[in-house]
Structure 1
Amino acid sequence: MKSMRAVQVDQIRKPMVVRDIPVPEIGDDDALVRVTSSGICRTDWHLWNGDWGWINVKLPLPIVLGHEIGGVVERLGSRVKGLTVGTRVCVPFNMACGHCPYCLKGLQNDCDNFMWPMLTPGSGGFAQFVRVPNAQLNCVPLPAKVTDKDASALGCRYMTAYRAVRTRAELRAGETVVVTGIGGVGRSCVEIAVALGGQVIAIDTKLSALEAAKKLGAIEVINSEGLSPKQVGERVKALTGANGVDVGIDAVGGSKATLTTLSALAKGGRLVVVGLTSQEDKGELNFPIDEIVAKELSVIGSLGNPQAEYPDLLRLVESGKLAPSRHIESEVGLEDVQAVFDRMPTFQTNGFILVTQFNQ
């Protein structure tokens, strides 16, 4: 094929267009992957919305978004080793160079030369094919029992939740956990925390999200509609009968979610922030620094998941202890991506929505 269907952004905040564009050319170190499943993530919406200029992120236009990619290797560059045509793969959104100081330490998610698919021409997942640079590192082969739909969840939201809960929070069995925002990342955090032995309290403003958290094993839920961060914190403390929880995961981002999660922490608690801000905060929050000092709280950022940590995650998925695909809300076609974006500002989406229909 010389051309492919893709969803293309021509202008910020203007409707995206489904059109035929050339199939990406690949270099000697690249792979061409046929996309079989592509998640529609809030990160894509943020970029389409023109967010994150305050951290020097600029969307090159025109561009194809999409960064939660599961697919099959169709073609390989001459220097790629360890992969074969026909291999099913996950493509982590934090595509990395493999040779900078962070990559050499196994922290590919912090790569100095990062290449996010939705910011890299030819690599966006809302298309029939993607070019995966440095394919030897950035194409992660899937075990037999891990599905293509699992793979698209593993490309961003689920693996982001895994690193936040297991590696950054260092959650230990028996610890109490608050998860704020029960969307795709939040639901994944609840499932992973429960699987690791955490006692989870879920916080959201939507009854459907709180019901989903209960089904995933949350011991308590709090509807935060109309409540201040301090009021939510008081409810958490009443539920736990203690000073608060050991770990808080902010799976949304922004002032209210971050401060709500912080307010729920006990002395010595760890706050892990996964969500990023949007136009309301533009990357700046007012923190109660005296409380952070007085209670010896830790504030920890978490971005993606390094390729080096994928083997353990994939083993847990293959064993059935973790199930990314259980969070799928619906499957749609390329022509439906804009409609999903239109629901995101008011948080009308639940769990994962995947593009699995690429042909007309």
Structure 2
Amino acid sequence: MRAVVFDEPGEEMSIEEVPTPECPPDGVVVETEACGVCRSDWHAWQGDWSWVGVESKPGLIFGHEPVGIVQEVGPNVESIEVGDRVTNPFNLADGSCPMCQQGHQNVCEQSVPMGFVDFSKGAFAEEYAVHAADTNVVTLPDDVDPVAVAGLGCRFATAFHGITQRADLGAGDWVAVHGCGGVGLSAVHVADALGANVVAVDLKQDALDKAVELGATHTVKVDEVEDVPREVKGFTPRNRGADVSVDALGIAQTCRNSVRSLSTLGQHLQIGLTTSEEEGEVSLPVDEVVFDEREFLGSYGMPAHEYEDIFRMMDAGTIDPGAIVSETVSLEEVPETIASMGEYDTVGIPVCNEF
């Protein structure tokens, strides 16, 4: 089969003929219909995230936001059949650890990041395999467009889980989203769907314009203001600050700005992973956090059972993940699309749908 194959950090990737994946006894093999192209792919292509144990090795196949049709089912699988249209979270669980048993499969003790390790290759290929299918694989509703939901594996799911499950967000609350790439725009859209007032923060005007389309009520263009947290607070009643503030980018500046945009008792939600500049470490205004009793939360992917909440909101017309898809590309265009993400040129979510 054809696949985009990684060789060395920062070097152009190529389309190669590789063996088709073997079906795990507890897993499935899926023919790829669509796969989101994520900035996380760019980080892995650059060789980032060694500080969290991710090491991109020659021969790796990226692609962790897949949708496809099941071609083969392992003998130990009970809930998935050949012909099902499916998706899955990028952070695959084994289903057996204490976290999994409590419903927190996204933080499984044996979590496997699909498309970032050589023993769970990704979906920038004609076919891909998923282990522990009864835990990880989700059957899509019949009327769902594969391209529209190709961001559910990572960006939209991470934002949805963070906004709906990690943060305590209600209608009328104030939310600031720092960084309006794919995951940030997803956070804007979900927060708006829950009835929040959303302040979108970014350097790029086209990203802010897209955020407004998706429900942002106010915007802050970072290079036009002296103090981002003060601007965010200025939109809120009595300048008190945001009830929830999201860092959807992961650089030191956005993380600190997010924490400092909060109200008393506010919640910071960290969705973006850090870059090679931070290597996982960011200095924060700790005394402000203490004095105002602010919270610092993380959101990492989403357990498969929460997809039903997304599908219900889609069916009700409350959310539309497809509204964040910016373009479709072919498998041949994936290497260039990933490389361009270093310049933050992409608005929304690009999706590969030609294999």
Give the TM-score normalised by structure 1.
0.95
- Structure 1 runs of 4+ aligned residues shifted over 4 Å read none
Aligned amino acid, residue 123 of structure 1: K
Conserved? CA contact 1:146–1:317, under 8 Å:
no
Deviation at 1:191, TM superposition (A): 0.8
Please, which runs of 5 or more residues in structure 1 have no aligned partner? none
Distance 1:12 1:320 in 2: 41
Aligned amino acid, residue 346 of structure 2: T
Aligned amino acid, residue 35 of structure 1: T
Distance 2:130 2:222 in 1: 41
Identical-pair percentage? 37
Equivalent position to 1:233, from 229, 233, 248: 229
The reply on whether 1:106 has 2:96 as its aligned counterpart is no
Distance 1:130 1:269 in 2: 41
- Partner residue, 1:215: 213
The reply on whether 1:17 has 2:29 as its aligned counterpart is no
Distance 2:312 2:199 in 1: 26
Equivalent position to 1:245, from 227, 242, 252: 242
- Partner residue, 1:173: 171
Please, which runs of 5 or more residues in structure 2 have no aligned partner? none
The reply on whether 1:319 has 2:311 as its aligned counterpart is no
Distance 1:217 1:25 in 2: 43
- Partner residue, 1:309: 306
Deviation at 1:59, TM superposition (A): 2.1
Greater mean deviation of Cα atoms: 191-200 or 111-120: 111-120
Q: 1:281-327 CA deviation, whole Å, 9 max, x = no partner?
A: 11111111111101111111110011122221221123221111111
Give the TM-score normalised by structure 2.
0.97
- Partner residue, 1:286: 283
Deviation at 1:122, TM superposition (A): 5.2
Distance 1:78 1:65 in 2: 27
Distance 1:352 1:51 in 2: 21
The aligned runs of 1:180-199 (5 Å cut-off) are: 180-199=178-197
Equivalent position to 1:85, from 82, 86, 91: 82
Deviation at 1:151, TM superposition (A): 3.0
Distance 1:104 1:327 in 2: 33
Aligned amino acid, residue 280 of structure 2: G
The aligned runs of 1:8-157 (5 Å cut-off) are: 8-118=5-115, 119-121=117-119, 123-157=121-155
Distance 1:234 1:28 in 2: 55
Q: 1:260-293 CA deviation, whole Å, 9 max, x = no partner?
A: 1112111111000000111111111111111110
Distance 1:143 1:202 in 2: 31
Conserved? CA contact 1:146–1:314, under 8 Å:
no
Distance 1:221 1:32 in 2: 43
Aligned amino acid, residue 223 of structure 1: K
Determine helix, strand or coil for the equivalent of 1:32: strand
